[in-house]
Amino acid sequence: MNKKSSLLRLLCSLVLGFGLLSLQVVNAQDTAKTAGAPQVKFVTNMGEFVAEVYPEKAPKTVENFLQYVRDKHYEGTIFHRVISNFMIQGGGYDARYIERQTRPPVMHEGLEALSKGGPRNTVGTLAMARTNVPNSATAQFFINVVDNGFLDPNPQQPGYTVFGKVISGMDVVNRIRAIPTSFGGPFPSDVPRTQVVIKSATVLP
């Protein structure tokens, strides 16, 4: 009886040990994956959130975005377009609704990013805003606050390039999406009545 109990305890210890080892391997892989993605911290007057970006999926888009971050372009800009059942958009206008100067547009990478396994326009993802011309994105970006599959690129439409995702502070994004909106500056609607200002955007070490 004692011999059987000892054997059972040994088997249980081996199984538990193997389980812990497997968990450590999985955690190490997840950490490595996150560590490989640059992270950008946004500080707003509504709170902070952090997004990671995916240069292996949309290299031109990510480098364009990170250069604007490094150039401090986003500091003092606002989320000028907020639609609670759609997305929040910012990065283009200051608090006086004066449009910030930008570099030339970046090449559209929507379908290419998807083909590399990049994310779709789902809750919390970042995508580049643009005009009706696919290759027109500059600095403005938006955060999807619902799943917006109709924005995904496909062979029939260019869609919008998703290049990152909010990994912490989604509660702040949801507070922004809930702000009452009206007209403001040159925009007839969807402008937050209380301005949401990006105080800083920095690449985390």
pLDDT tens-digit map of 44-100: 999 999 999 999 999 999 999 999 999 999 999 999 999 999 999 999 999 999 999
Phi/psi region, residue 84 (left: phi>0; alpha: psi -120 to 50; beta: rest), is: alpha
pLDDT tens-digit map of 129-179: 999 999 999 999 999 999 999 999 999 999 999 999 999 999 999 999 999
Report whether 58 contacts 52 (CB < 8 A): no
Q: Residue 25: phi, psi to the nearest 5? A: -65, -45
Handedness of CA 149, 151, 156, 161 (dihedral sign): negative
CA-CA distance, 86 to 190, in Å (whole number)? Answer: 11
CA angle 81, 41, 58 (to 5 degrees): 75
Q: Which fold has domain 37-203?
A: Cyclophilin (2.40.100)
Q: Which residues pair with 83 in a beta bridge?
A: 87
